[in-house]
Amino acid sequence: MAADIGGPEALQLLMWAVLLPCLMILGAGIGQWVLWIGVVIMLVAVAVAACLIGGAWGRAGAATLASVSGFALMLFAGPAMYEVYMKTAGDPVAAVVTEVTDENNRWGAGVT
């Protein structure tokens, strides 16, 4: 049976439900440019989500799912946000590769 939540409690739950995923997406996006800041934002958002959901609300399974989803979001949403940014705001330029040398690679471009 579902609990009847209304008024300020519902508003507070809605605030956390919107704020935490937005922070996770922000951390994933920032992590593409400044890795350490993005990782810190992401870890704080995942820790707050896990503590809030698992500790305060008593939903251990949902806290585990939120934590795993947060880390997966960092892996997949960051590169996708970077690609969308480059398609919308990036300037395509023509480039010609004139020489490729790689002395350390055994079977790379330097091998004939």
User: pLDDT tens digits, residue range 6-23?
Assistant: 677 888 888 988 998 899
Mean pLDDT over 60-74 rounds to 90
Distance in angstroms (rounded) separating the CA atoms of residues 91 and 21: 30
Q: What does pTM read for this prediction?
A: 0.67
71 pLDDT more than 70: yes
Distance in angstroms (rounded) separating the CA atoms of residues 107 and 112: 9
3-state secondary structure of 45: helix
b/e map 34-62, b = 16+ CB within 10 Å: eeeebeebbeebbebbbeebbeeeeeeee
Residues of the chain with pLDDT > 90, as a percent, come to 21
- What secondary structure letter does DSSP report for 56? I
